[in-house]
A and B are shown apart, each in its own frame.
Chain A
Amino acid sequence: EDKVVQSPLSLVVHEGDTVTLNCSYEVTNFRSLLWYKQEKKAPTFLFMLTSSGIEKKSGRLSSILDKKELSSILNITATQTGDSAIYLCAVELTGGGNKLTFGTGTQLKVEL
């Protein structure tokens, strides 16, 4: 059975800290790995990673995929209270028609 595991389950940090969120997967026929941020409503798309070792960056957020280790990390530098959210990792399989398997998420809380 395809599985996506995220760690930690939850995390509390202070503004300005750097955080690293982890995602590991055990799937057949991997195509891509996606990161989403979920605040109060819809998950919003952050990154899609298909190639190992190539960092994707958007402002203070960055992510990288390691296909050998079957994992990905999401880094957030200089955290702000607005980064508080659930961060979801999902894996897309080939032949799956864009179907995603999600991890249970990491709940991040950034305090002043």
Chain B
Amino acid sequence: DAGVIQSPRHEVTEMGQEVTLRCKPISGHNSLFWYRQTMMRGLELLIYFNNNVPIDDSGMPEDRFSAKMPNASFSTLKIQPSEPRDSAVYFCASSSDRINQPQHFGDGTRLSIL
């Protein structure tokens, strides 16, 4: 079975540019999570969706960050405008919302803002 698929794998862009990260969750999973990982702060939850609806976006750092899930098989995380401090690895994860089901992670997008 295909796992969580993220694209692009790497993104290097200049500050001020718009960045869009993409995620395809595992088929049949109805919860989707966006995380950011840095050396300083570890793995932080940014936002999560259940049945395509945003449930908790309290981890989104500021208004420059937005996320959408237009359907059950696709989500985007957008940063506009990007800043150097946004440089990090961004992971998407999905899970079934049945009890005791773990989250499964994609390979991440390594984002560098120059």
Q: A42-B105, A44-B105 are in contact. Are A102 and B100 (CB under 8 A)?
A: no
Contact check, A34 vs B42: say whether CB atoms are below 8 A apart: no
Contact check, B48 vs A99: say whether CB atoms are below 8 A apart: yes
Query: Which residues, 2 to 28 on B, are CB-close (under 8 Å) to A?
Result: 3-4
Contact check, A98 vs B42: say whether CB atoms are below 8 A apart: no
- The total of chain B residues at the interface (CB under 8 A) is 24
- The total of chain A residues at the interface (CB under 8 A) is 20
Contact check, A100 vs B103: say whether CB atoms are below 8 A apart: yes
Contact check, A48 vs B43: say whether CB atoms are below 8 A apart: no
Chain A interfacial positions (CB closer than 8 Å to B): 32, 34, 36, 41-45, 48, 50, 88, 97-105
Chain B interfacial positions (CB closer than 8 Å to A): 3-4, 31, 33, 42-45, 48, 50, 55-56, 91, 95, 97, 100-108
A34-B103, A42-B106, A100-B33 are known; give 20 further A-B pairs, CB within 8 A.
Answer: A32-B100, A41-B107, A41-B108, A42-B4, A42-B91, A42-B105, A42-B108, A43-B91, A45-B104, A48-B102, A50-B100, A97-B50, A98-B33, A98-B95, A99-B48, A99-B56, A100-B45, A100-B103, A102-B42, A102-B44
